[in-house]
Each structure stands twice: as C-alpha cells, then as structure tokens.
C-alpha cells in the first residue's frame, strides 16, 4: 500500500448469454447500467466478463434485436464464489398481431 492506504478489492462479473433454446450467443453486447460502463461482448461460447468492479450491487444487461434482459448481481458473492454468476437468457419478443378489417358500406 502507498501512504498507508490499502488498495480496494476489485471483482469480476462473469456469465453466459443464451437464447430461449439454451444455445450460447456470440457477439451480444453486455453492460452494467449502474454506473454505466463500457460494453463487453460475448465470445464464441457466449461467455462475458466485466472486470475491475468495486463492491456493490449492479444490474447487468444484454440487448439483441430490441430485447433487453437484466440481472441483479451483488459483489462480493455471498455464496463464497470468486465471481457471481450472471447468466442471461434472451427470450424472443412477443409477437404483435395486427388485424386489418375491410368494411363494406352501403345501403340496401
């Protein structure tokens, strides 16, 4: 330590982004929203790591094709794990049904 100040402990948040079928998703942007930090992208196995975070609670989110999913993560992990699991499953957006009606007007 410098000048009697101990360095603060830093942590990593790791996880895997999967689609609704359980398949790992490559190239998905993953970020921490509080406070905002640079975006990481998932690798070929769907894994990501957000490193060098201080103790605290974070919302980790992934976005693809307009679908945003977030998970809450607290550092350090209370289970004794070295890095909390922040796995994210991206579900498809619900389908929007658009109905079109053609009316026939007239008098009889």
Q: Provide the β-strand partners of residue 89.
A: 18
User: Closest Cα to residue 56, out of 36, 35, 40?
Assistant: 35
pLDDT for 96 equals: 47
pLDDT for 28 equals: 92
Q: 0.75 exceeded by the pTM?
A: no
- Of the pLDDT bands very low, low, confident and very high (cuts 50, 70, 90), residue 29 is very high
- Residue 9: other Cβ atoms inside 10 A: 9
| Cβ–Cβ < 8 Å for 60, 71 | yes
In angstroms, how far is CA 100 from the centroid of its own chain? 37
Bigger pLDDT: 67 vs 95: 67
Q: Dihedral of CA 44/62/52/55: which sign? A: negative
- Of the pLDDT bands very low, low, confident and very high (cuts 50, 70, 90), residue 100 is very low
Pairing of strands 47-53, 11-19: antiparallel
Bigger pLDDT: 46 vs 89: 46
């Amino acid at each position: 330590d410098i000048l009697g100040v101990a360095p603060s402990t830093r942590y990593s948040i790791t996880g895997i982004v999967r689609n609704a079928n359980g398949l790992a998703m490559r190239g998905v942007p993953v970020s921490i929203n509080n406070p905002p930090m640079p975006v990481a992208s998932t690798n070929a196995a769907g894994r990501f790591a957000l490193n060098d975070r201080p103790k605290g609670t974070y919302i980790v989110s992934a976005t693809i094709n307009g679908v945003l999913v977030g998970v809450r993560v607290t550092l350090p992990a209370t289970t004794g794990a070295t890095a909390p699991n922040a796995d994210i499953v991206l579900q498809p957006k619900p389908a929007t049904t658009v109905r079109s009606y053609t009316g026939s007007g007239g008098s009889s």
